[in-house]
Amino acid sequence: MHRIGYGSMQLTGAGHWKRFADFGKARQILRRAVDLGINHIDTADAYGPHTVEVLIRKALHPYGDELVIATKGGMTRQGPNLWAPVGRPEYLCQCVEMSLRRLDLDRIDLYYLHRIDPQVPLEDQVGALVDLRNQGKIGHIGLSKVTISQIEAARKLTPIAAVQNRFNAHNEENRAALDYCTNARIAFVPYAPLAAGAMVKTPGAAVRSLQWLLDQSPVVLPIPGTTSLEHLEENAAAARDRHVA
């Protein structure tokens, strides 16, 4: 797969709340990403909430055979910049069913537990996703914003295909988790790979920063997000000669 994906979190309103103001531009961004060969689109039901999954369907459906759509569930929204995890099995099942409907999919290729809920046993949260995978509604299970001990605990219950943690050249706090994923051959999907735009202030900085990420490990699959066609093209170019993961 193309080693640079597209993270859709920015296709929302202020505070990642409600819809992106310009639907036409958002659709253009998604379609151009696919035209550039990007075949990994990352989203979550909490973005909006729900609005980005609908946007992806409207912009890209029917999907190409090689397009991987990853989404997440288990995070509730109370307003702009407000988030709270809910990991009850019945809620996670509802999240998956509604994401399938919004995205118009029969199966979600990669589904992340958006955040581990400390109020619910991990085996219940992961177990719900295992049941949904066994039903054919999920292809692979991922974890988001987790520690090594949490990854290990989840792997005792089921194979984990991907881990999505913050990581970039300005913030390497998850270096140990990256090394763990490299050794375990788990895809490591760094969110905020350009530090929320802080690393794109000079010409070529985005490409250099993304290539630095790609060179850290063959399992790294960054998902830079942008609402700029120019930046999208620049981000996609960073994967030249580094396209095989």
Query: Where are the extended beta strands (E) located within the chain?
Result: 6-7, 40-42, 68-73, 75-79, 82-85, 108-113, 138-144, 162-164, 187-188
Tokens 């253009």 belong to which residue? 28
Is 47 an annotated catalytic residue?
yes
Integer CA distances (angstroms), 83 to 13, 47, 78, 141, 206, in order: 15, 10, 6, 21, 29
- Which residues neighbour 51 within 8 Å (Cβ) at sequence distance 6 or greater? 12, 18, 19, 20
Tokens 């988001």 belong to which residue? 144
Q: How many CB atoms lie within 10 A of CB 22?
A: 12
> Looking at 6, 47, 63, 112, which residue is catalytic?
47
Question: In angstroms, rounded to a whole number, what is the distance separating the alpha carbons of residues 152 and 155?
Answer: 5
Question: In angstroms, rounded to a whole number, what is the distance separating the alpha carbons of residues 203 and 198?
Answer: 13
Question: In angstroms, rounded to a whole number, what is the distance separating the alpha carbons of residues 138 and 108?
Answer: 5
Contact 81, 16 (CB under 8 A): yes
Contact 2, 243 (CB under 8 A): yes
The two structure tokens encoding residue 68: 């991987």
Known catalytic residues are: 47
